[in-house]
Chains A and B, each alone.
Chain A
Amino acid sequence: MALNFFDQFLSPTHLGIPLVLIAMIFPWVLYPSPSNRWLNNRLVTLQGQFFNRFTQQLLLPLNQGGHKWALILLSLMVFLLSINMLGMLPYTFTPTTQLSLNMGFAVPFWLATVIIGMRNQPTAALGHLLPEGTPVPLIPVLIIIETISLFIRPIALGVRLTANLTAGHLLIQLIAT
């Protein structure tokens, strides 16, 4: 029945420990902290190269001030990447299929960027609400539209991640039966 397809997204509890807790802590095991030796083991070396390349690509469009965000962005992305990839293994549980987790990521991040932008340079932050080169009659409408899009952004981001992962898992299960 169609109802059973969504049962895979429940978080089972066993001995009082929910599986979501294990699923969120397990990626920590896969990334050992590199020692300050000159030659590390292969796993740490490969991960270091991957993270370096990833951060370099991430920070390309940002100026010097944006580099402060490198650590938080990298850790968030690697966390989500590993959780989603681990969800591909059989019988595992993917925490990002739960809307609560994704909104818990989306809203604080979005709010932090907006508030920091408003505090550091309020005119530029407000100026983002109006794209350059808009015709004068359109200005009021566009400001309203841009404000709405600003506030919808966390909901869009959170729901997008949830929907993508849920749809993917559901599709896999539909094809398999």
Chain B
Amino acid sequence: MSSAFLFRRVLQQCASRSPVSIISTRWTSSSTENQTAASLDPEFKKKIDDFIKSNKIAIFIKGEPGAPRCGFSNAVLQILDLHGCDFKSKNILDDEQLRQNMKNYSNWPTFPQVYFDGEFIGGCDILLGMHQSGELVDELKKIGIRSKLADVNNKNASTSK
């Protein structure tokens, strides 16, 4: 994604009539998360806090990286592999309590769930959308990961008409 495109998008968001919408969605989603996360067992919450904060990319999936048990989880794994990302994962099929509690923790009803640097990114649809738009390369850069596709994006930008 070109910097010109991103700049236009920032302008568009600032010009939006609804001032609330220019607040970072991550702040919005964090406050909602805190309301549902507050009802969680503190010990569980701490374990998950530690897991997502001590790994740049932390994902909650159905199955294991080598053997995903769901097409959406598989898609997330494929995308992260394309970008050459290291990550840590938890298999929510192995732990029913984890499965139910993560829905409250993330305030998100489905899996997979993807966290970058301790912040909730979304599920498969969002990661796929970010990958297709080129935004994922930028998001990875923000957390100190150079995507394998970063050079591909740059090459396309410089050769496009």
Q: Do A and B bind each other?
A: no
B interface list, Cβ under 8 A from A: none
Q: Taking beta carbons and an 8 Å cutoff, which residues of A are in contact with B?
A: none
